[in-house]
C-alpha cells in the first residue's frame, strides 16, 4: 500500500514537473513555439510563432529555420522581431513561419533549438521549444459518385483600380503622346492653310484677265494675215479652253469639242454665249483637223466670238450700292454684310478697245440675265 | 474644191450602205448598236474583233446577220479542247479514183468566221487561226491558199467560265484590232427581244451590200484625212500606256506591266478613220479617237498584280489616260 502511494506520489511529482516546466528547460531562457491552428486542410497555410524570452545580458544564437520539416514545408519566414528595449532586463524575440503540407496526416513539428551564452560565461547553453503536432486533413471524397471534370481556371474580376495601379504610367504616357500628335497635326494643318492662302493670293489671277490678255496677244501677232491660219485657230481655241478650265473648273484642255459643249448644256449661261463658244470651237476643229480655210471675215468673227464669250461669262464683283436703307444691324445681318458680294458679269468690265467685237446681247446685259 | 471637201462628198456617197447595213441588222438585233457599229468598224478597217460577253447576248446572231446582209460566206466554229488545227484550215484527203491526195478546205475559207469561245481550244488551234488572221493565207500540205476577201474573224470569249480554258497569250490577243465588251440590253430592248422571239415571224435579213462595196469603202477609209495633231494625240495615248511617268501619270506606273504595241497605234488610227467614215466625215477629229480608244486598247494593256489586287481594270487606266492627255 505504501508502495502504491509512493508510486502515485512520484507520478504526481513528474506530472507537476511536466506541467510547470513544459515550456522551457531553464527558468532564465524561455523558448516557445505556437501554431495558429493545429488542424488544417490539405494545402492550407498556418502560422508558427517562435518566441524566445531571455535576460538582456545573455547572447542568443537564433536558430535558422529549415526549408521543410518532413512533409511540412516552410512557405515564408519573417524577420526576427525584438520586443523590449535594450536597457530592460528581459528581451523577447519572435519569428513567424508560414507552413503548409500537401499530404494528409499527422506531422510533428520538431523542437527548435536556440544556443545561448550567459554573459561572460563561456559555456554553451541550449533552450528548445516544445514539439507540436500538426494534423492535416484531406477533403472527404465520396467514391460512390463518379469522377468529375476538372474545373477550369476561374476568372477573377479585374478592377479598374487594379488596372490603373499596374498601367498608370503607360496610360499617362499614351494620353500625352496622343495629345502631342493631335497638336502636331493641328499645327501642320494651320501652317499648310496659311501657305495655301498666300499662294492663291499671289499666283491666281482672274481667268478672264488671262484669257483677254492671251486673245489680245493672238490678235497682235496677226497670224491669219501672215497665212498661219491653222496656228491662229489653234491659239484661239486653246485660249478659250484654258479660260473654261480656269473659270469653270472643267478639264477643257483634255476634252473634245463635243464633250466641252456637253458640259455647258445644263449650265446657266446665256444661249448666245453658248452659240459663240460652239462657233469658235467647231470652226477651229475644222481648220485644225479638216484643212478648212475660212473666209477672212470668219477669222475676225471667231476672235470676236471668243472675246464675247469671255466677257459674257466673266466673274465680276457686284457694283457697290450707294444708298442703303437704314436698318438695325444685328449679329446675323453684320455677318451677311461681311460676306463677299455675289459675282456677276457687268458691262463695266468690258474695255472700250474691244467694243468692236461686242454683240448686242453683252452690251445690253444686266446682272439678272447672266448665268 | 479642196481634197477634204471632195473626200467628204465621196464618203457621203459611198457610206450610204452603212445605214442600210445597220438598219437591216437592227431587224434581228435589238439594241446593241455599239456592237453593230464596232462590227462595221472592223469590217471597214480590215481588222478582227474579239467579242467578250456572257452567253445569250446575240453575238453569233449579229455576225450571222452581218454575213447575210453582205451576201458573204459565214462559218461558225465552236472551239473545244479536242479541236485540231486541221479542223479549221482543212486537210489532205486521199482520192482513190485519182490515186492522189486532194485538199479539203476547212471552215476558215469563208468571209466571216465566228470563232465561238476561242479560249476553249488549246494553243496550237488558236495559233492556226491567228496565223490565218495575220497572213490571210493558209498552207495545207505544200500548197498555200489565199483566204477570201473580206476575211473577218470574230472570236468570242466568255468571261464567267474560266474552268478548262486556255487564255489567249498577250501576243495573240494583240492581233485582234478591237476587243468589244458586250453588256446586257436595256429594259426597253429586252422587252422588244421577248416580243420578237415569241412571235412566229422572225425577220429575214436581206442582202443590202455586196462585197465590192465593202472593198471600195475600205479604200476610202484609208484615205480619210488624219491631221498631224491627231497622229500626235494617238501616239501620246499609246505612249502613255508604255511610259505613264512621262505624262505625269505616276500612279499608273505600278499598275501597268506592259503598254500598247505599235500595232495599237496603227489600229487606233485605222479604227478612228473607220469611225469618221461611219460618221460621214472625211477627216478624223479627237472625238473619233476617243470613241474607239477603249476597244483598241483594253486588251493591249497588261495589268500588274498590284492592279489586280486593287481590282483596277484596263478601262479605268484608259479613262485616266484620256483625262490626262491634252486634246489637240
Residues A213 and A354 in one domain: yes
Q: To the nearest whole percent, how much of chain A has pLDDT over 70?
A: 73
The mean per-residue pLDDT over the stretch A268-292 comes to 87
Q: Which three cell numbers stand for residue B163?
A: 474552268
Could you tell me what percent of chain A has a pLDDT over 90? Answer: 18
Q: So what's the pLDDT on residue A203? A: 57
Look at residue A327 and tell me if it is in a domain. Answer: no
Of A251, A258, A293, the CB nearest to B287: A258
Residue indicated by cell numbers 427581244? B193
Helix then strand then coil, in percent of chain B rounded to 5, is 50, 15, 35
Q: Are B312 and B251 in contact (CB under 8 A)?
A: no
Nearest by CB: A256 against B3, B283, B286: B286
Residue A199 located in a structural domain: no
Asked if A253's CB is within 8 angstroms of B327's CB, the reply is yes
Please tell me the predicted confidence (pLDDT) of residue A343. 35
CB contact residues (below 8 A), chain B span 252-311, against chain A: 281-287, 290
- pLDDT, tens digit, for every residue of B202-255? 778 888 888 888 888 898 899 899 999 999 999 999 999 999 999 888 888 889
Top-confidence residue, B128 or A364: B128
Q: How far is A235 from chain B (nearest CA, A)?
A: 11
Q: Of A300, A312, A320, nearest to A350 (Cα)? A: A312
Q: Which of A137, A170, A194 is the last residue of a domain?
A: A137
Identify the three-state secondary structure at position B150: coil
Do A254 and B323 lie within an 8 Å CB cutoff?
A: yes
Beta bridge partner(s), residue A50: A33, A95
What is the mean predicted confidence (pLDDT) over A294-309? 88
Q: Looking at the structure, do residues A217 and A353 belong to the same domain, yes or no? A: yes
Q: Do B287 and A288 touch (CB under 8 A)?
A: no
Measure in Å the smallest separation between the Cα of A285 and chain B Cα atoms.
Answer: 7
Q: Judge whether residue A365 has pLDDT over 60.
A: no
In this prediction, residue B130 has a pLDDT band, given cuts at 50, 70 and 90, of confident
Secondary structure class of B253 (helix, strand, coil): helix
Query: Could you read off the pLDDT of B138-152 as tens digits, one per residue?
Result: 888 888 888 888 888
Q: Give the mean pLDDT of chain B.
A: 86
pLDDT > 90? residue B264: yes
> Are A107 and A241 contained in the same domain?
no
Of the candidates B279, B285, B282, B286, the one whose C-alpha atom is nearest the C-alpha of residue B5 is: B282
Which residue bears the cell 486537210? B91
Share of chain B above pLDDT 70, in %: 97
Residue A363: pLDDT band with limits 50, 70, 90? very low
> Which positions in chain B touch A295 (Cβ < 8 Å)?
none
Which has more pLDDT, B128 or A351?
B128
CA distances from A55 to A123, B79, B203 (A): 16, 115, 132
A102 & A224 share domain? no
Please tell me the predicted confidence (pLDDT) of residue A340.
41
Domain boundary among A137, A156, A175: A137
Q: What integer pLDDT is reported at residue A7 of this predicted model? A: 67
Instruction: Tell me: pLDDT of A78 over 70.
Output: yes
- A95 lies in a domain? yes
**Residue A317 — very low, low, confident or very high, per pLDDT cuts 50/70/90?**
low
Residue A244 and residue A117 in one domain: no
- A295 min Cα distance to partner chain B (Å): 14
Model confidence at A355: pLDDT above 60: no
Average pLDDT on A12-30 reads: 55
A178 part of a folded domain: no
Mean pLDDT, residues A82-105: 84
Per-residue pLDDT, averaged over B57-83, amounts to 85
- Do A353 and A214 have their domain in common? yes
Average pLDDT of chain A to the nearest whole number = 77
Alpha helices in chain B (DSSP H): 3-14, 16-26, 33-44, 59-70, 85-89, 123-135, 170-173, 187-198, 211-223, 228-242, 250-253, 262-278, 286-297, 305-309, 314-324
Give the CATH number of the domain where residue A37 resides. 2.60.40.10
Domain count, chain A: 2
Nearest chain B Cα distance for residue A322, angstroms = 47
Are residues A125 and A229 both part of a single domain? no
For A238, the closest chain B residue by CA position comes to B328
Look at B287 and A256 and tell me if their CB atoms are within 8 Å. yes
Quick check: B34 and B297 in contact, CB under 8 A?
A: no
Q: In terms of domains, do A214 and A346 share one? A: yes
CB A80 within 8 A of CB A93: yes
β-pair partners for A317: A343
Domain final residue pick, A106, A137, A168: A137
**Is the CB of B323 inside 8 Å of chain A's CB atoms?**
yes
Is the Cβ of B327 closer than 8 Å to some Cβ of chain A? Answer: yes
A13 and A113 assigned to the same domain = yes
State whether A131 and A212 are in the same domain.
no
Chain A nearest C-alpha distance from B218 (Å): 20
pLDDT at B316 over 80: yes
Q: Which residues constitute the domain of residue A22?
A: 2-137
Q: Which residues of B touch A255 (CB under 8 A)?
A: 327
Do A122 and A245 belong together in one domain?
A: no
Residue B282 cell numbers, joined: 472625211
A249 and A344 together in one domain: yes
Partner-chain contact A292 B230, CB within 8 Å: no
Strand partners, A52: A31, A93
pLDDT at residue B231, as a whole number: 93
- Is A116 part of any domain? yes
A167 assigned to some structural domain: no
Taking the Cβ of residue B225 and every Cβ of chain A, the question of whether any pair is shorter than 8 Å is answered with yes
Do the chains contact at A254 and B326, CB–CB below 8 Å? yes
A326 domain residue, yes or no? no
Within a domain: A48: yes
C-alpha cell recorded at residue B54: 456572257
Please give the average per-residue pLDDT across B154-170, as a whole number.
75
The helix or strand, by DSSP H or E, that contains position B159, with its residue range, turns out to be none
Amino acid at each position: 500500500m505504501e508502495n502504491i502511494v509512493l508510486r502515485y506520489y512520484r507520478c504526481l511529482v513528474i506530472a507537476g514537473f511536466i506541467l510547470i516546466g513544459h515550456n522551457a528547460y531553464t527558468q532564465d531562457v524561455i523558448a516557445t513555439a505556437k501554431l495558429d491552428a493545429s488542424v488544417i486542410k490539405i494545402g492550407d497555410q498556418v502560422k508558427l510563432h517562435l518566441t524566445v524570452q531571455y535576460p538582456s545580458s545573455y547572447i542568443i544564437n537564433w536558430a535558422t529555420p529549415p526549408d521543410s520539416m518532413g512533409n511540412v514545408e516552410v512557405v515564408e519566414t519573417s524577420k526576427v522581431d525584438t520586443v523590449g528595449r535594450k536597457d530592460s532586463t528581459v528581451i523577447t524575440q519572435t519569428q513567424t513561419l508560414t507552413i503548409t503540407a500537401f499530404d494528409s496526416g499527422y506531422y510533428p513539428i520538431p523542437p527548435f533549438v536556440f544556443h545561448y551564452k550567459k554573459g561572460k560565461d563561456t559555456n554553451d547553453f541550449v533552450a528548445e521549444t516544445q514539439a507540436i503536432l500538426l494534423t492535416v486533413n484531406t477533403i472527404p471524397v465520396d467514391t460512390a459518385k463518379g469522377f468529375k471534370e476538372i474545373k477550369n481556371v476561374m476568372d477573377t474580376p479585374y478592377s479598374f483600380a487594379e488596372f490603373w495601379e499596374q498601367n498608370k504610367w503607360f496610360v499617362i504616357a499614351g494620353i500625352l503622346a496622343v495629345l502631342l500628335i493631335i497638336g502636331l497635326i493641328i499645327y501642320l494643318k494651320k501652317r499648310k492653310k496659311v501657305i495655301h492662302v498666300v499662294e492663291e493670293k499671289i499666283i491666281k489671277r482672274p481667268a478672264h484677265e488671262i484669257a483677254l490678255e492671251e486673245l489680245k496677244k493672238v490678235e497682235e501677232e496677226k497670224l491669219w494675215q501672215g497665212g498661219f491660219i491653222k496656228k491662229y485657230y489653234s491659239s484661239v481655241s486653246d485660249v478659250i479652253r484654258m479660260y473654261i478650265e480656269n473659270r469653270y473648273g472643267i478639264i477643257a484642255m483634255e476634252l473634245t469639242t463635243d464633250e466641252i459643249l456637253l458640259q455647258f448644256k445644263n449650265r446657266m449661261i446665256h444661249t448666245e454665249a453658248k452659240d459663240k463658244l460652239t462657233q469658235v470651237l467647231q470652226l477651229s476643229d475644222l481648220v485644225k483637223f479638216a484643212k478648212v480655210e475660212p473666209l477672212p471675215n470668219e477669222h475676225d468673227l471667231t476672235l470676236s466670238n471668243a472675246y464675247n464669250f469671255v466677257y459674257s461669262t466673266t466673274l465680276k464683283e457686284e457694283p457697290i450700292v450707294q444708298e442703303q436703307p437704314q436698318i438695325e444691324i444685328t449679329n446675323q445681318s453684320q455677318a451677311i454684310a461681311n460676306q463677299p458680294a455675289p459675282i456677276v458679269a457687268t458691262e463695266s468690265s468690258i474695255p472700250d478697245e474691244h467694243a468692236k467685237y461686242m454683240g448686242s446681247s453683252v452690251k445690253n446685259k444686266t446682272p439678272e440675265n447672266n448665268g | 474644191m479642196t481634197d477634204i471637201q471632195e473626200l467628204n462628198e465621196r464618203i457621203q456617197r459611198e457610206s450610204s450602205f452603212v445605214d442600210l447595213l445597220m438598219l437591216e441588222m437592227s431587224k434581228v438585233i435589238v439594241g446593241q448598236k455599239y456592237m453593230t457599229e464596232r462590227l462595221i468598224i472592223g469590217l471597214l478597217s480590215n481588222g478582227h474583233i474579239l467579242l467578250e460577253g456572257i452567253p445569250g447576248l446575240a453575238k453569233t446572231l449579229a455576225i450571222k446577220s452581218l454575213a447575210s446582209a453582205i451576201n458573204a460566206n459565214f462559218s461558225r466554229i465552236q472551239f473545244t479542247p479536242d479541236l485540231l488545227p486541221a479542223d479549221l484550215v482543212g486537210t489532205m484527203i486521199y482520192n482513190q479514183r485519182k490515186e492522189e491526195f486532194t485538199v479539203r478546205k476547212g471552215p476558215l475559207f469563208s468571209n466571216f468566221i465566228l470563232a465561238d469561245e476561242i479560249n476553249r481550244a488549246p494553243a496550237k488551234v488558236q495559233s492556226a487561226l491567228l496565223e490565218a488572221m495575220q497572213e490571210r493565207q493558209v498552207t495545207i500540205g505544200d500548197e498555200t491558199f489565199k483566204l477570201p476577201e473580206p476575211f473577218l474573224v470574230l472570236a468570242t470569249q466568255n468571261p464567267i467560265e474560266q474552268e478548262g480554258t486556255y487564255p489567249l497569250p498577250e501576243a495573240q490577243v494583240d492581233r485582234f484590232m478591237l476587243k468589244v465588251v458586250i453588256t446586257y440590253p436595256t429594259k426597253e430592248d429586252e422587252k422588244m427581244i421577248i416580243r420578237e422571239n415569241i412571235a412566229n415571224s422572225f425577220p429575214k435579213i436581206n442582202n443590202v451590200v455586196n462585197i465590192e462595196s465593202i472593198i471600195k469603202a475600205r479604200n476610202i477609209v484609208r484615205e480619210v484625212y488624219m491631221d498631224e495633231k491627231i497622229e500626235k494625240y494617238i501616239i501620246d495615248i499609246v505612249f502613255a500606256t508604255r511610259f505613264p511617268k512621262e505624262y505625269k501619270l505616276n500612279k499608273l506606273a505600278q499598275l501597268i506591266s506592259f503598254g500598247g504595241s505599235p500595232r495599237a497605234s496603227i489600229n487606233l488610227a485605222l479604227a478612228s478613220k473607220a469611225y469618221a467614215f461611219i460618221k460621214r466625215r472625211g477627216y478624223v477629229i479627237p472625238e473619233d479617237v476617243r470613241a474607239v480608244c477603249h476597244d483598241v486598247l483594253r486588251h493591249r494593256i497588261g495589268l500588274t498584280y498590284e492592279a489586280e489586287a486593287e481590282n483596277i481594270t484596263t478601262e479605268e487606266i484608259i479613262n485616266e489616260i484620256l483625262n490626262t492627255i491634252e486634246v489637240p
